[in-house]
Structure 1
Amino acid sequence: MTPGWDPEDLPEDAYEDASGTMVRPYTVTRGRTAPERDDLTLITVLTTVEEPLDEFGRPLRPQRLQPEHRLILDSCRRPLALAEVAAALGLPVSVTKILLGDLVGLGLLTARAPLSVARAAGGARHDLLAAVRDGIRRL
């Protein structure tokens, strides 16, 4: 425990959900405290898969999704950053990462880097950049 920090200092509704019932974050994740995926960042863009299929090409019908999973799938019908999803759910980022990892693992959600990051990471040709650098030096 952090010195000088007392759980009694928290507001009464600190662990309550919208209906006023007490919900601890580890309850939402079924006791898991760390995501299975380590590639999810605050700016990872998430999108619901239109028609997910299983390995045999049949429509995937996931069983027993938690309410938070359903909210994520509804929210991500348009691309959203992980931070936006966490804010919309009102859950800590660490909890949201665990839930998102579940959905990505089930094939119900896609995760990708933002386009600007993806282009910078994979789109730059080093030989072209070196040629531009050399041309600028000659000026």
Structure 2
Amino acid sequence: MVRPYTITRGRTAPARDDLTLITVLTTVEDPRDEHGAPVRPGRLQPEHRRILERCRRPAAVAEVAADLDLAVSVTKILLADLVGQGLLAARAPITVAWAAGGIDPSLLAAVRDGLRRL
């Protein structure tokens, strides 16, 4: 058994504080830096590689933690590493985006009504 502080290299908090249990994560297929150059991942731990494989399909933080069988706090540290390297994309869940004005409520209502007619 590997101790959590070994996996996180002694860190106890993630570099980002915006990762919630329902933040959706997706592996970036062709990561690029701000200048358009390909991003070469740094040295990845086995857990990092498992996260990237798991997030080929969108997954919430809680799902990733459960799949890795790690505490959520440890998982958030690993996820923040990958997001910081540009290898993983994180987006707020739809309810947070809606509250921030990023989603048009009338569009959602139209989709809901259309689904009901089916």
Describe the SS at the equivalent of 1:32.
coil
| Residue aligning to 1:121 | 100
Gap regions ≥5 residues in structure 1: 1-21, 126-139
Structure 1 residues 1-20: aligned runs within 5 Å: none
| Residue aligning to 1:77 | 56
Structure 1 residues 13-32: aligned runs within 5 Å: 22-32=1-11
Note closer, same or farther for the CA distance 1:27–1:62 as it changes in structure 2 (3 Å cut).
same
Q: Which has the larger radius of gyration?
A: 1
Distance 1:113 1:61 in 2: 26
> Does 2:13 match 1:34?
yes
Which of 55, 66, 72 is the matching residue for 1:87?
66
Structure 1 length as normaliser, TM-score? 0.70
The structural deviation recorded for 1:124 is: 6.1
The structure with higher relative contact order (CA 8 Å, sep 6+) is: 2
**Percent identity among equivalent residues?**
76
Distance 1:55 1:44 in 2: 23
Worse-superposed segment, 28-37 or 49-58: 49-58
After the TM superposition, list the runs of 4 or more consecutive aligned residues in structure 1 that deviate by more than 2 angstroms: none
Structure 1 residues 34-73: aligned runs within 5 Å: 34-73=13-52
Which of 78, 83, 103 is the matching residue for 1:99?
78
Describe the SS at the equivalent of 2:84.
helix
Query: How many pairs does the alignment contain?
Result: 104
